[in-house]
Amino acid sequence: MTHPLSRDIAQHLAARARWHPLEVAFWLAALGSLFLLPNQHLILTEIAILALFALSLDLILGYAGIISLGHAAFFGFGAYAAGLFAKHDLIAEPALAMLAAGALATGLGFATSFLVLRGSDLTRLMVTLGVALVLREAANKLDWLTGGADGLQGVVMAPLLGRFDFDIAGHVAYAYSLTVLAALFLLARRIVASPFGLSLRSIKDNPLRASAIGIPVNRRLIAVYTVAAGYAGIAGALLTQTTQFASLSVFDFERSADVLLVLIIGGVGYLYGGLIGAVLFKLGQDWLAHVTPQYWHFWIGLFLVVFVLVGRDRLTQWQSAARAFLLRAVRLQALRVRGEAGRS
Amino acid sequence: MLTILFDGIAYGMLLFVLASGLALTLGLMNFVNLAHGAFAMAGGYVTVILVNRSGFGFFTALPIAFLASALLGSLFERTLYARVYGKSHLEQVLFTIGLVFMAVAAVDYFLGSQQQFAQLPEFLQGQFDLFGVGIGRYRLLIIVLCGVLTVALQLLLSYTRFGSRLRAAVDDQRVARGLGINVNAIFAVTFAFGSGLAGLGGALGAEILGLDPTFPLKFMIYFLIVVTVGGTTTITGPFLAALLLGIGDVAGKYYVPKFGAFVIYTIMIVVLIWRPQGLFARAAAR
């Protein structure tokens, strides 16, 4: 005999984990872009990679509450790892190399996760920033391995799965990136809906209470940080594989700051934030770079300042409004379809 | 060897003047101001423009740089920063990163991206020998100036009414408010003064650190190291941290150039892991 309250809670949690019509619509749109927008595949690839990177940050920021200013560390690590695998023919097949690069980044994430456990927000900021800087410096100085400031050149990708060559228009690259993004998204969705994900949320809300009800706070944080590092590493690997180049910019502070911005635009803590944010950010960046090629960071900065001053709540209201509107549209459409089916 | 030590001390002193304002604001309001370097950059550019284009003397330009940055700082504090104090660290970080991006792009737009140098007066150039130690005249000036500033700052904090109020507010803001101390006013003054110091540091450091639009980004990490390693509860902590950092950085770049900035970042991470409150901080009351 279970308590009615626990049954209610179980139902509530199950309802939250269920697939929402909007989610289905989102992924159908993503799938549609693969076939309907063949001329945009280059930028769409960039969007998919950025979305994966932002998704990774969402796991630690949105679900565990860890502020990181150095998430590019794992992105860059994965990028260089994938580049080196391809350049020296260690792992020729791109998908395998991507997984291996992700595994390496996961290892790095595990090793550095102990550094973010201690201290306040400021200490975490500094430590994450420091780790990214150390890696950037390492990539800069180990020029016999990484090409130093010139970047890693001579990366030639083998055909994907031994069959599909990366083409100049980016069709294969986009299909590949989108598939990886979707697969990892599914995994992330599973993770955050699991008891493990729920415990992360409770840690984010109040670490002290979380530990009081028996959640091993540190171990959970280590676990999610490690997973997120792996995600970021895979995103970096995808970037190298689709551009056949890796440069020091993968470790840049700007990259860590930009991905934070992406996540903030889309909204933190519901997984789709990074994806939607990546679309908006890339489109906005593309447009700004078109208008003012050199100074687009100014407008990004202005956006951040206004964003904080106006308040996140007020700006995120449009998201829930848009969500409600879309939902109504989808429901109406579904009713209409059902109605027509009934008539015929 | 001693020359390196000397250069390191000059560098460290400079870093201290640059970062001391940040230490105060961080300790006082628990506000993460990543845009501190932008005020230093403002001071640097004011000096360069005054000296190179308007024909001001270097020593007349320095106080003007201080005042200009202080003014800019208090303007920003009153209009923008004051609205962000109550927000979360994440939002403070986003806000100040935004300011940095804007400052970098704006300076790039108006003044170009090339590196700037202020023309130094003749007698400050070159170096002389003292007991076999090569001493740069300009670096000596920096050490003297920054040394005087440090002592003045310490005296100000220890012996004036304002200083004791400031220390009280840093130690426990709520109690300080309860005792009738106007913490907001103190903070506004401190912020302006800290920005002014940063501007002065930027003006003095243009020659040594190099001044270009990416200055706030490049040195952000250095300021933060000084503040986090030194702790924010005293002024001597950041001072020692800045000296260590300056000497370590100069020596590291000289003796093991292959490792470059490695040494510094690694030391920082180790210190932060070992003592998250800072190397020289007493245990925080909060």
Rounded to two decimals, the ipTM of the complex is 0.77
Q: How many CA atoms are closer than 13 Å to the CA of B141, on its beta-carbon side?
A: 19
Q: Is residue A62 part of a domain?
A: yes
Average pLDDT, rounded, for chain B = 81
Candidates B29, B83, B97: best to mutate against A (most CBs of A within 10 A) is B97
What is the count of residue pairs from A and B with beta carbons less than 8 Å apart? Answer: 124
Q: Is pLDDT above 50 for B284?
A: no
DSSP for A1-40, written as a single string: ---HHHHHHHHHHHHHHSPPHHHHHHHHHHHHHHHH-GGG
pLDDT at residue B286, as a whole number: 38
pLDDT at residue A252, as a whole number: 84
pLDDT at residue B59, as a whole number: 82
Q: Is pLDDT above 50 for B285?
A: no
pLDDT tens-digit map of B208-256: 777 888 888 888 888 888 888 877 767 788 888 888 888 888 887 777 7
Sign of CA dihedral A208, A214, A217, A221: negative
Domain ranges of chain B: 2-215
* Structure tokens, B100: 């940095």
Return the higher-pLDDT residue of B5 and A236. Answer: A236
Contacts of A148 in chain B (CB under 8 A): none
Are A230 and A103 in contact by the 8 Å Cβ rule? The answer is yes
Tell if the CB–CB gap between A130 and B221 is shorter than 8 Å. Answer: yes
* Structure tokens, B238: 């950041």
pLDDT tens-digit map of A37-86: 777 888 888 899 999 999 999 998 888 888 888 899 999 999 999 888 88
Q: Is residue A123 part of a domain?
A: yes
**For the residues B56-64, what does the mean pLDDT come to?**
82
Are B18 and B260 in contact by the 8 Å Cβ rule? The answer is no
Q: Is pLDDT above 80 for B112?
A: no
If you search the block for the tokens 């955050």, which residue do you land on?
A192
Candidates A68, A112, A126: best to mutate against B (most CBs of B within 10 A) is A126
Which percentage of chain B shows pLDDT scores above 90?
1
The range of the structural domain enclosing residue A146 comes to 21-310
Candidates B33, B249, B256, B269: best to mutate against A (most CBs of A within 10 A) is B269
Tell me the C-alpha distance between B91 and B84, whole Å.
8
Nearest-Å Rg of the Cα atoms of chain A is 21
Residue B283 pLDDT class (50, 70, 90 cuts)? very low
- Stretches in chain A below the pLDDT threshold 70: 1-2, 119, 311-323, 326, 330, 334, 337-344
pLDDT tens-digit map of B79-103: 888 888 778 888 888 888 888 888 8
Q: Is residue A322 part of a domain?
A: no
Tell me the C-alpha distance between A83 and A243, whole Å.
10
Nearest to B91 among A253, A300, A308 (CB): A308
pLDDT tens-digit map of A15-33: 777 788 888 888 888 887 8
pLDDT at residue A106, as a whole number: 93
Q: What's the burial of A332, exposed, middle or buried (CB within 10 Å: 0-12/13-18/19+)?
A: exposed
Residue B144 Cα to chain centre, angstroms: 17
Amino acid at A71: H
Q: Is pLDDT above 80 for B113?
A: no
Tell if the CB–CB gap between A260 and B217 is shorter than 8 Å. Answer: no
Tell me the C-alpha distance between A256 and A244, whole Å.
21
Tell if the CB–CB gap between A125 and B32 is shorter than 8 Å. Answer: yes
- Which long-range CB contacts under 8 A does A315-319 form with residues at least 24 apart? A316/A267, A319/A267
Are B202 and B18 in contact by the 8 Å Cβ rule? The answer is yes
Q: What share of chain B is helix, strand, coil (3-state, %, to 5)?
A: 75, 5, 20
Are B208 and B11 in contact by the 8 Å Cβ rule? The answer is yes
Amino acid at A74: F
Q: What is the DSSP letter of B107?
A: H
Q: B283 CA to chain A: closest CA distance, Å?
A: 13
Query: Is the backbone of residue A285 left (phi > 0), alpha (psi -120 to 50) or beta?
Result: alpha
Tell if the CB–CB gap between A137 and B260 is shorter than 8 Å. Answer: yes
Q: Is pLDDT above 90 for B137?
A: no
Q: Where are any strands of DSSP class E within chain A? A: none
* Structure tokens, A306: 């206004």
Rounded to two decimals, the pTM is 0.81
Return the higher-pLDDT residue of B191 and B170. Answer: B191
Give A32-80 as a 3 state SS string: HHHHHCHHHHHHHHHHHHHHHHHHHHHHHHCCCCCCCCCCHHHHHHHHH
Nearest to A134 among B87, B90, B266 (CB): B266
B286 three-state secondary structure: coil
Buried b (16+ CB within 10 A) or exposed e, B243-264: bbbbbbbbbbbeeeeeebbbbb
* Structure tokens, A256: 């860590």
Would you list which residues of chain B are within 8 Å, Cβ to Cβ, of chain A? 26, 32, 80, 83-84, 87, 89-95, 97-106, 108-109, 217, 221, 224-225, 228, 258-262, 265-266, 268-269, 272-273, 276
Write phi, then psi, for B259 (nearest 5 degrees).
-90, -20
Write phi, then psi, for A279 (nearest 5 degrees).
-60, -50
pLDDT at residue A225, as a whole number: 92
Q: Is residue A49 part of a domain?
A: yes
Specify the CATH number for the domain of residue A39.
1.10.3470
Q: A187 CA to chain B: closest CA distance, Å?
A: 27
Cα-based angle B278, B283, B286 (whole degrees, multiple of 5): 105
How far CA A260 is from CA of A150, A263, A314, B247, in Å, comes to: 27, 5, 19, 34
Q: Is residue A318 part of a domain?
A: no
Residue B2 pLDDT class (50, 70, 90 cuts)? confident
Q: Which residues contact A187 (CB under 8 A, 6 or more apart)?
A: none
Q: What's the burial of B160, exposed, middle or buried (CB within 10 Å: 0-12/13-18/19+)?
A: exposed
Tell if the CB–CB gap between B26 and A122 is shorter than 8 Å. Answer: yes
pLDDT at residue A161, as a whole number: 76
Would you list which residues of chain A are within 8 Å, Cβ to Cβ, of chain B? 61, 67, 69, 114-115, 118-123, 125-127, 129-131, 133-134, 137-138, 140-141, 253, 257, 260-261, 264, 294-298, 300-305, 307-309, 312
* Structure tokens, A265: 């635009």
Domains contained in chain A, number: 1
Q: Is residue A9 part of a domain?
A: no
Q: Which residues contact A263 (CB under 8 A, 6 or more apart)?
A: A54, A57, A58, A61, A62, A273, A274, A277
| Chain A residue whose CA is closest to B80 | A309
